[in-house]
Amino acid sequence: MTTTVLAQTTPAPSSGFDPMTLILLAAFAFLIFMMFRGRKKAQKAQEQLKSELAPGAEVMTQFGLFGTVLSIDSENNKIVLELSPGNTATVHAQAIGKVVPQEAPAEAIAEEAPATEGYVRETPAVEGYAQETPEETRRRLDGTDTTGTGTTKE
């Protein structure tokens, strides 16, 4: 009786071809291919950024700071950016996110743009407030100026 039970629990011999193994190997090969492809794309983007980076180029850092490249120190991986006239910041070369493309001259844009008559509207200056001082503006906004002319009501 024991031999009959053992015979029933023994698995049948395998034929050698398992489709699940083939699917697993294909998925693994696809994963490796995608890893190499992503690394290659990132390396290509880094090389393009490096080729566009030169003194005078306007750049944006990865933390959103815009500036113009003044100098590049390749040995220490430092770049000096001019944020505004007279203000500079030194950042690591890897902090540069992208080079901002230079804008076309305004005349070329005006020639390419369609006519916008009727759409452009200049805002007129408010009477009485065009020449007011900062103190008058503060009083007007605080509500102490009730005349609307920039002077307080006494």
What are the sequence ranges of the domains in the chain?
21-49, 53-102
Residue 99: partners with Cβ closer than 8 Å, 6 or more residues away: 49, 52, 53, 57, 58, 59
Average pLDDT per block of 10 residues along the chain, 154 residues long: 57 71 93 93 87 87 90 90 90 88 63 53 52 80 68 50
Cα distance between residue 20 and residue 26, in whole Å: 10
pLDDT of residue 121: 47
CATH no. for 53-102: 2.30.30.100
pLDDT of residue 99: 87
| Strand, coil or helix: 98 | strand
Parallel/antiparallel/unpaired status of strands 66-73 and 78-84: antiparallel
Q: Per the structure block, which two tokens stand in for 91?
A: 């950042």
Name beta bridge partners: 140: none
pTM for this structure? 0.45
